[in-house]
Amino acid sequence: MQTENFREMGNAVDLAHRIGASHVYFGRITNWGTFSPDQYAETAVFLPGHPDHAEFLAACRDPRLRDPIVCPSDLDEFIHGRA
């Protein structure tokens, strides 16, 4: 997840059902040296200091994300309310 796509998580689950997908995988964006530290901080919406972090947490409370087809990987703490 990143600033560019966190608002679409619930819709991604809906789409997965429509096309018959068996799983939807969500994960944090990783900086493999692609971003400068400042760029990564701007993109990593899951970091507590990010300006959109509260909106990200709200998006993670979408009940569609608790669907059995969702693989939350390293976003589990947010999707299941432990963050």
Tell me the whole-structure pTM to 2 decimals. 0.91
**H helix runs in the chain, sequence order:** 9-19, 37-43, 53-60, 76-79
Q: Quote the mean pLDDT of the chain.
A: 96
Per-residue pLDDT, 83: 60
Residue 21, in any domain of the structure: yes
Over range 37-59, report the average pLDDT: 97
Confidence check: pLDDT of 1 > 80: yes
Residue 1, in any domain of the structure: no
Domain boundaries, position 56: 6-79
Over range 24-28, report the average pLDDT: 97
Total number of domains constituting the chain: 1
